[in-house]
Amino acid sequence: MQYTKDPKSGNELSILGYGCMRLPSDFAKAEKLLVEAVEAGVNYFDTAYIYGNNEVTVGSILEKNGLREKIYLATKLPHQKCKDYESIEKLFSEQLDRLKTTYIDYYLIHNIPDMAAWKRLCDFGIEKWIEEKKSSGQIKQIGFSFHGTQKDFMELLDIYDWEFCLIQYNYMDENYQAGKAGLNKAYEKGMAVMIMEPLLGGKLATGLPTKAVQLFQKLDPNRSMASWALRWLWTQPGVSVVLSGMNKPEQLEDNVKTASIARDEMLSDIESNVYTPVIEALRESYKVPCTGCNYCMPCPVGVNIPGCFMAYNSSYVMGLVSGFTLYLTGTSAYRKESKARASCCIKCGACLDKCPQSIAIPDMLGAVAKKMEPLWVRAILSIARLFMR
């Protein structure tokens, strides 16, 4: 494992961090992965209050295996749930209990989209609260995660003396959200920059179109698609830690392998140039820039929004058969009572403000319904429902 020095704290951080949101729901499997990650040298673990039971799982694994003092733990304050100073304190105390710890190494304000959200927290006394927690040692480093416009990111960087930040960044998103300009500014300010969605919800690992895969394999047939994506990030001087949501042993093994040689075996000029045609091939294939983060869920009606988009994109990348298969399994479209189908969207707009990618979700669900639920498919499903009664 290779490491990078946090410019503010001096901590030696593994360049590969563990994004715990997608850990297996089975405790034993999750435990095995986290323990093996620590043994392989990973020392930065990221979770959040809103990731279901994730904080509890991570805290239990760390305590059971005596790992807390061996790693740097990051979690996030769900600022939308904050109503006043007392609620901030209550949420933080609950997180300490969940994680079975007395302090957080890297604490983030979760998804501050703009200045208005930060000023709202300031009205509650967040700056005083942070100062108290840092003085007591309960928070070691303070930062924020971001999904918004580059302009808002630049403003947020200057409004407070942040020590680190977490941004979405990958070779498909070089000019999206904070983008490269935001990464560079944070780096120039001496902040550690953590990266989320390095594989775009797994699409840059297992969802590349055939043309893109062939372009990479022509240069190195033994290198995984995930390795190509991670290597691109580790050539960026401002990148401190790349979070990967590894939920299978082989994913952990492959990523650790890449993280052990990435900065010793940098990309050659020929390898660096291959990303341009790969990006072009991807843009020709993907119709919806959904990463499967599930922030848009639950839908008030019950539509499986990420599942619909995954199937829709797959129908273009891997063919209609694969797309329809994913659609049927992801929406239970063969069941008459299912409300998970794209056609069940009532365009209420409840999902719009929640989407980090700013996708026009109701409109795109209309496009999904048009392609994935044409009349002949509805006829087949009607017949299938008769047999299932």
In this structure, what CATH number is given to the domain that contains residue 130?
Answer: 3.20.20.100
In a domain, 268, yes or no: yes
Cα gap 294→308, rounded to integer Å: 12
pLDDT at 336: 60
Residues 69 and 186 in one domain: yes
pLDDT at 335: 61
pLDDT at 377: 65
In a domain, 267, yes or no: yes
Summary mean pLDDT of the chain: 90
Cα gap 179→157, rounded to integer Å: 13
Residues 192 and 244 in one domain: yes
Radius of gyration of the chain (CA): 22
Residue 164 pLDDT class (50, 70, 90 cuts): very high
Residue 140 has pLDDT above 80, yes or no: yes
Residue 379 pLDDT class (50, 70, 90 cuts): low
Question: Which H or E run contains 291?
Answer: none
Enumerate the β-bridge partners of residue 4.
13
Residue 200 pLDDT class (50, 70, 90 cuts): confident
Q: Measured on CA atoms in the order 112, 114, 120, 124, is the torsion positive or negative? A: positive
pLDDT at 388: 43
In a domain, 210, yes or no: yes
Residues 271 and 313 in one domain: no
Residue 149 pLDDT class (50, 70, 90 cuts): confident
Looking at per-residue pLDDT, the higher value among 35 and 379 belongs to 35
- In the three-class reduction of DSSP (H, G, I as helix; E, B as strand; rest coil), residue 16 is classed as strand
Of 17-21, 173-177, 205-209, 363-367, least confident by mean pLDDT is 173-177
In a domain, 297, yes or no: no
In a domain, 239, yes or no: yes
In a domain, 67, yes or no: yes
pLDDT at 389: 47
Residue of 96, 104, 48, 108 whose CA lies nearest to 73: 104
Residues 279 and 309 in one domain: no
Of 98-112, 233-247, 280-294, least confident by mean pLDDT is 280-294
Residues 89 and 233 in one domain: yes
Residue 326 has pLDDT above 80, yes or no: no
pLDDT at 378: 67
Residue 218 has pLDDT above 90, yes or no: yes
Looking at per-residue pLDDT, the higher value among 329 and 139 belongs to 139
Number of domains in the chain: 2
Rank 180-194, 259-273, 369-383 by mean pLDDT and report only the highest: 180-194
Last residue of one domain, picked from the residues 283, 318, 334:
283
Domain range enclosing 365: 305-388
> Are the CB atoms for 354 and 296 separated by under 8 Å?
yes
Residue of 129, 46, 148, 22 whose CA lies nearest to 82: 129
Share of the chain above pLDDT 90, in %: 67
Residues 189 and 274 in one domain: yes
In sequence order, which residues have a C-beta less than 8 Å from that of residue 246 and are 6 or more positions away?
18, 19, 22, 33, 37, 252, 255
Amino acid making up residue 150: Q
What is the four-CA torsion angle of 169, 175, 179, 180, rounded to 10 degrees?
100
